[in-house]
């Protein structure tokens, strides 16, 4: 017997905004330490307050920002750009999952929603669309989640920036390692399937084996290998599922 989803009553715009902020709030709390650590360590790495805040305001990607700060002192600009691009390729998968729910929206809605999509908002929106669908005012829920995460990330970056300026000798304490630990803390909770674990392990092994390459390009090659491995295994898993249903 096939289970049918019970139709839930449509919510008003105001309710969608409230529920979007409410459901995203735990994600905001989880992002708090990462924002503070980023602001503090980016300052310790020698970035100006304007540079630090510009990264959070316009890049708005914790994983990419940590990677960029780790590379800025020792790598060419093209390596930073390439690493950021590869790290954020996962957003293509997010977009493929959500596109059917936002296709009906005009471009002036879709562009900002796509630009502000994060791991946290994707997790919230995937559940929201699965439970209630995309009819009505669902895009206001989406927008509220995006803006809530953006304001939260920038606020805690600013807090970290102030802390970093108040303690200018942080770099001498060897806190650069905190960037590595923080990045691991961002990535590990998201590894919930075998393809994702395989991608992470492959990327780590390749990057370690090729660490001697100039401009830390081994990191970029490791990321490429990880993305390729995860994509192949995920496609194979979907094919197996489709075959099983036939």
Residue 161 and residue 166: Cα distance in Å, rounded? Answer: 9
| Same domain, residue pair 123 and 173 | yes
| Same domain, residue pair 19 and 128 | yes
| Same domain, residue pair 81 and 33 | yes
Residue 137 lies in a domain: yes
Write out the two tokens for 111. Answer: 């562009």
| Same domain, residue pair 128 and 246 | no
Last residue of a domain, one of 190, 219, 236: 190
Q: Look at the chain and report how many structural domains it folds into.
A: 2
Residue 66 lies in a domain: yes
Percentage of the residues of the chain whose pLDDT score is greater than 70? 83
Residue 4 lies in a domain: no
Region of residue 129 (left: phi > 0; alpha: psi -120 to 50; beta: else): alpha
Residue 142 lies in a domain: yes
Terminal alpha carbon distance of the chain? 16
Last residue of a domain, one of 144, 163, 190: 190
| Same domain, residue pair 218 and 167 | no
Residue 238 lies in a domain: yes
Residue 34 and residue 82: Cα distance in Å, rounded? Answer: 23
Domain that holds residue 22: 13-190
Is the pLDDT at 4 greater than 50? The verdict is no
| Same domain, residue pair 152 and 166 | yes
| Same domain, residue pair 104 and 45 | yes
Question: Residues 146, 117: contact at Cβ < 8 Å?
Answer: yes
Q: What is the mean pLDDT of residues 93-108?
A: 87
**pLDDT confidence band for 79 (50 / 70 / 90):** confident
pLDDT tens figures, 26-43: 888 888 888 888 898 888
Is the pLDDT at 123 greater than 60? The verdict is yes
* Torsion, CA 25, CA 146, CA 67, CA 159, rounded to 10: -60
Residue 123 lies in a domain: yes
Residue 5 lies in a domain: no
| Same domain, residue pair 81 and 139 | yes
| Same domain, residue pair 31 and 116 | yes
| Same domain, residue pair 101 and 169 | yes
Last residue of a domain, one of 169, 190, 211: 190
| Same domain, residue pair 143 and 68 | yes
**pTM score:** 0.72
| Same domain, residue pair 205 and 185 | no
What does each C-alpha distance from 87 to 63, 97, 214, 217, 219 come to in angstroms? 7, 18, 19, 14, 11
């Amino acid at each position: 017997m096939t289970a049918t989803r019970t139709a839930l009553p449509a919510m008003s715009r105001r309710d969608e905004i409230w529920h979007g902020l409410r459901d995203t709030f735990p994600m905001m709390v989880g992002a708090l330490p990462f924002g503070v650590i980023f602001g503090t360590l980016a300052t310790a790495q020698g970035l100006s307050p304007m540079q630090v805040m510009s990264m959070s305001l316009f890049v708005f990607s914790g994983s990419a920002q940590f990677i960029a700060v780790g590379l800025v002192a020792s790598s060419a600009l093209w390596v930073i750009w390439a690493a950021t691009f590869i790290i954020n390729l996962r957003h293509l998968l997010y977009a493929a999952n959500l596109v059917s729910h936002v296709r009906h929206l005009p471009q002036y809605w879709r562009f900002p929603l796509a630009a502000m999509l994060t791991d946290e908002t994707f997790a919230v929106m995937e559940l929201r669309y699965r439970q209630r669908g995309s009819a009505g005012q669902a895009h206001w829920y989406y927008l509220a989640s995006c803006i809530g995460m953006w304001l939260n990330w920038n606020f805690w970056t600013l807090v970290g920036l102030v802390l970093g300026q108040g303690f200018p000798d942080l770099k001498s304490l060897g806190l650069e390692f905190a960037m590595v630990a923080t990045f691991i803390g961002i990535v590990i909770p998201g590894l919930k399937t075998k393809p994702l674990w395989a991608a992470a392990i492959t990327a780590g092994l390749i990057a370690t084996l090729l660490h001697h390459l100039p401009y830390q390009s081994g990191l970029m090659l490791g990321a490429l290998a990880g993305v390729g491995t995860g994509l192949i295994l995920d496609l194979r898993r979907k094919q197996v599922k489709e075959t099983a249903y036939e």
